[in-house]
Amino acid sequence: QGMLLNSLVALGAHPSPILAGHLYMHLSSTQQHMHANAPAGCSWLNHLAPYLLSPLFGVPSGAYKLHHVVMHHVEDNTWGWDLSSTEGFRRDSLACFAFYWLRFLLVSAVELPLYALRRRRHRHAATAAASMAGGWLLTAVLWQRCALATFYTLLLPYLVSSLALMFGNWSQHIFVDPDTPRDDYKLAYNCLACSDNPKTYNDGY
């Protein structure tokens, strides 16, 4: 059952929950009234998806906003600051992509809070470190209770999602103009009139 569930998620619905979270993180960062106008006593519900539900889709607890909104969009693929930058890699090399993915897979839980500290974003650093450490600690405890269930519900989604997310970013920034690498029009591609855009909240732009 676990294998069937994960196969269906990977083949069909998998991108939608993550990209819904992507949209929500951007909106919540720019439209503070989403939190201010929440019904009395219900604002805590805004934390369910990024902290409790996201690990079920392979995104570490509390990591997405810091990694994507705070770091990636601000640093804009800049080597040395953006931990998901493609600038230092050969984008036509499978070995380079494997290293790129494995770095994210294995050490992002350490590098991400350290990045926030370097940028003096202490609250983000503390929140990310605590939530990711708590998430992995819970995963270890659940592994002791039932390894098979933990693998299918938490570890396999993490493997699949990290590969998909890193391949997506690798592909999006595969062409970078070496003369003007900071130009937003020359460091990423845009998919216009793409059939995937209505299904992914216009993620192709």
**For 178, which DSSP code?**
S
Judge whether residue 41 has pLDDT over 80. no
**Alpha-carbon distances of 153 from 14, 15, 21, 141, 147, rounded to whole Å:** 13, 16, 18, 14, 10
Q: Output the DSSP codes for 5-48.
A: HHHHIIIIITHHHHHHHHHHHHHHHH-THHHHTSPTT-GGGGGI
* Single-letter amino acid, residue 31: Q
CA-wise closest residue to 174 among 104, 106, 108, 94: 94
Q: Picking from 62-66, 69-73, 195-199, which range would have the lowest pLDDT averaged per residue?
A: 195-199
Q: Does residue 12 have a pLDDT over 50?
A: no
**pLDDT given for residue 190 in this prediction:** 72
Nearest residue to 13 (alpha-carbon basis) of 199, 164, 152: 199
Tokens of 60: 């570490």
* CA–CA dist 114, 118 (Å, integer): 6
What is the pLDDT at residue 94? Answer: 93
Task: Tokens for 45, please give them.
Answer: 């519900």
- Given a cut of 80, whether residue 157 has pLDDT beyond it is yes
Q: What is the DSSP letter of 154?
A: I
Q: Grade residue 31 by pLDDT with cuts at 50, 70 and 90.
A: low
1 compared with 40, residue with greater pLDDT: 40
- Percentage of residues of the chain with pLDDT beyond 70: 75
The number of CA neighbours under 13 Å toward the Cβ of 67 is 26
- What values do phi and psi take at 89, rounded to 5? -120, 155
Q: What is the pLDDT of residues 158-175, one digit of tens each?
A: 998 899 888 888 888 888
Question: Does 71 or 27 have the greater pLDDT score?
Answer: 71
Query: For the chain, how big is the Rg over CA atoms in Å?
Result: 18
Reported confidence tier of residue 42, pLDDT bands at 50, 70, 90: low
pTM for the structure as a whole: 0.79
Segment 98-103 mean pLDDT: 94
